[in-house]
Amino acid sequence: MNPTNSMWITNAWYIAAWAKDVTGGEIFARTILDQPIIFYRTADGSVTALEDRCCHRHAPLSKGRLEGDEVRCMYHGFKFASDGRCTHVPGEDRVPKKYGVRRYPVIEKQNLIWIWMGEDRLADPDLIVDWPFLDDPAWPYKGGYLHYQASYRLGVDNFLDFSHLPYVHEKTLGTSAYADSRPQLEPTDFGIRIVNTAFDEPLAPIFRPFASFPGNIDRWSNYDFHIRGNVLLGDFGSAPVGEGGHLGERKNAMQFRHLSCMTPETETTSHYHFAQTRNFGLDDEALDDQVLAATVAAFLEDQDIIEAQQRIISLDPDRPMLPAGIDKALLHIRRETDRIIEMEQGARAEAAE
């Protein structure tokens, strides 16, 4: 097993792709947790995920050919079923059992393809977060993707940190009130819940094209971060001052639901999937594009500073950082992540004995 597996949690459902990335009749290839993987749809429309490495001579199956529900390696013609079993070896009458490629548990749910990178027996579909906003016509959106030249850890740090908003997103998401805000943190069994509210302040610049309020607004941000899978689920928005938007009274509110997920590709690169759904302009497709574009614009600001941060860290990876009070959420999650990684390593070491 690749030793770099120790850098991340493997027993987790990770977002591998948007459902639309895997179209019928074509192979979609992506590296996840240092493992090269192919994705394709079988005749029943369901998604298969197989190791992108023929067991025979390690040619990539992503250069292969789909034949019905099977995939054929186009180097020497070995064929594999969607469960990874080898079904044909040219020149052999029957296929010895030793042949085959790893098949990864994979589930399509709410427009996303989730993959399980750890032990098969633990791959319980109920562990996938349920987030109905991704396939509810009342919450339109277009799914986003960015490829990061940085560790998923730096991306996750960023998810858990409101204090960067007024600096990184000065002209987009940030309002100066964020700088000193102390969100409420509540450790949970899945990770952490973060609640941030602000009262009687101007609407953030990024939202101004989408809503006009008579004056200042109250805003709320309720975020749940799930350690396994690095998934952030958010409920945030703005409402006229005093209407109780943060308490759930949302009559005149501009509401968003947000998903962000950082899936490790390699030690220093990541896949970032995100969605910004909304409760207004339901049938306005142009608005889907505008909200996506505004979100991407803000997230490119994150990517720029995070990739720069990665470059500085790579110069001297062992130098300690100096945490501050604003880091409570990320420190909690880093500790918990490390604890789970250590547990997994311990279990693997025990199993290897």
Binding site for a copy of itself (CB under 8 A): 2, 34, 36, 52-53, 55-60, 62-63, 72-78, 89-92, 98-99, 157, 161, 163-164, 166-168, 170, 179-182, 304-305, 308-309, 311-313, 315-316, 319, 321-327
Which one, 63 or 348, has the nearer CB to a copy of itself?
63
- Full DSSP string of 285-305: HHHHHHHHHHHHHHHHHHHHH
Q: Least distance (Å) from a copy of itself to the CB of residue 134?
A: 30
Q: To the nearest whole angstrom, how small is the minimum distance from the Cβ of residue 267 to a copy of itself?
A: 12
Only one residue has tokens 């052999």, namely 92
Q: Enumerate the β-bridge partners of residue 217.
A: 201, 240
Cα gap 143→227, rounded to integer Å: 21
Taking the least distance from each CB to a copy of itself, the nearer of 94 and 121 is 94
Closest to a copy of itself by CB, 211 vs 305, is: 305
Closest separation in Å from C-beta 59 to a copy of itself: 5
Q: Which is nearer to a copy of itself, 73 or 253 (CB)?
A: 73
Minimum Å gap between C-beta 207 and a copy of itself is 22
Please give the Cα distance from 101 to 81 (Å, whole number). Answer: 9
Give the number of other CB atoms < 10 A from CB of residue 97: 8
Q: How far is the CB of 272 from a copy of itself (least distance, A)?
A: 17
Nearer to a copy of itself, 322 or 349 (CB): 322
Cβ distance to a copy of itself smaller for residue 99 or 223: 99
At 204, list the tokens: 């953030």
DSSP 169: T
- Mind giving me the DSSP string for 170-199? TTTT--GGGTT---EEEE-SSEEEEEEEEE
Q: How far is the CB of 52 from a copy of itself (least distance, A)?
A: 7
HEC readout, 39-87:
EEECCCCCEEEEECCCCCCCCCHHHCEEECCEEECCCCCCEECCCCEEE
Distance (Å, rounded) from C-alpha 157 to C-alpha 176? 20
